[in-house]
Amino acid sequence: MKVEKGKVVTFHYVLKDKETGEVIQSSKEHGEPLTILVGGQQIIPALEERMMGMEVGESKDIDLKAEEAYGLRNDDLVQVLPRHLFGDIELRRGMVLEADTPEGPINMVVLHAGDDEVIVDMNHPLAGRDLTFEIEILNIRDATPEELEHGHAHGEGGHHH
Percent composition of the chain: helix, strand, coil (DSSP 3-state, to 5): 20, 40, 40
Segment 127-145 mean pLDDT:
97
**75-121 shares the fold of 7-70+127-158:** no
Question: What's the confidence (pLDDT) of residue 155?
Answer: 64
Is residue 104 exposed (0-12), middle (13-18) or buried (19+ Cβ within 10 Å)?
Answer: exposed
Phi and psi at 8, nearest 5°, equal -100, 120
pLDDT at 142 over 90: yes
CATH for 75-121, among 3.30.360.10, 3.30.450.40, 2.40.10.330, 2.40.160.40? 2.40.10.330
Condensed to tens digits (0 to 9), the pLDDT of residues 22-71 reads: 999 999 987 899 999 999 989 999 999 999 999 999 999 999 999 999 99
Which sequence spans correspond to the domains of the chain?
Answer: 7-70+127-158, 75-121
Question: What's the confidence (pLDDT) of residue 80?
Answer: 97
Phi and psi at 47, nearest 5°, equal -70, -45
**What CATH fold (topology level) applies to the domain 7-70+127-158?**
Chitinase A; domain 3 (3.10.50)
Specify which residues 48 forms β-bridges with.
Answer: none
Residue 45 CB partners (closer than 8 Å, separation 6+): none
Condensed to tens digits (0 to 9), the pLDDT of residues 94-126 reads: 999 988 878 888 889 999 999 999 999 999 989
Specify which residues 24 forms β-bridges with.
Answer: none
pLDDT at 11 over 60: yes
Segment 9-14 mean pLDDT:
97
Condensed to tens digits (0 to 9), the pLDDT of residues 12-30 reads: 999 999 999 999 999 998 7
The pLDDT > 90 percentage for the chain reads 79
- 3-class SS of residue 149: helix
Segment 131-145 mean pLDDT:
97
Question: What's the confidence (pLDDT) of residue 99?
Answer: 82
